[in-house]
Amino acid sequence: DAGITQSPRHKVTETGTPVTLRCHQTENHRYMYWYRQDPGHGLRLIHYSYGVKDTDKGEVSDGYSVSRSKTEDFLLTLESATSSQTSVYFCAIRRLVDSPLHFGNGTRLTVT
């Protein structure tokens, strides 16, 4: 593994509740990404970060926010979870903009 830990690995929550997913890396890589993976849609980028406090939106950012106060941690927050946000969420890191992505093992989120 490339030193990426996602927590929690599984979570069940109710509609309307806030949820925060954590991605922690020990590689000191600059770039960090949050993807969601759904059947029929593949991997879709939610938000990404290119440095501490530097973040940008991906293609499916509505309903999500992120924060990166330290190089090693990238947090994804669902302010008010909806059933459409039931998914598997993957964090990924990479050293340079054209380096390979290294993925965590995912967080399976179920919103009831």
Partner 1 sequence: TQLLEQSPQFLSIQEGENLTVYCNSSSVFSSLQWYRQEPGEGPVLLVTVVTGGEVKKLKRLTFQFGDARKDSSLHITAAQPGDTGLYLCAGITNTPLVFGKGTRLSVIA
Positions that interact with partner 1 (CB under 8 A)? 33, 35, 40-45, 48, 58-59, 90, 92, 97-98, 100-106
Provide φ and ψ at 51, rounded to 5°: 160, 170
Residue nearer to partner 1 on the CB measure, 42 or 53: 42
**Vertex 3 angle, CA 30 and 106, to 5°:** 95
Q: Which is nearer to partner 1, 18 or 61 (by Cβ)? A: 61
Nearer to partner 1, 18 or 50 (CB): 50
3-state secondary structure of 85: helix
Q: Pairing mode, if any, of strands 87-94 and 107-111?
A: antiparallel
- Find out whether 112 and 44 touch, Cβ atoms under 8 Å: no
State the nearest-atom distance from the C-beta of 99 to partner 1, in Å. 9
Q: How far is the CB of 16 from partner 1 (least distance, A)?
A: 29
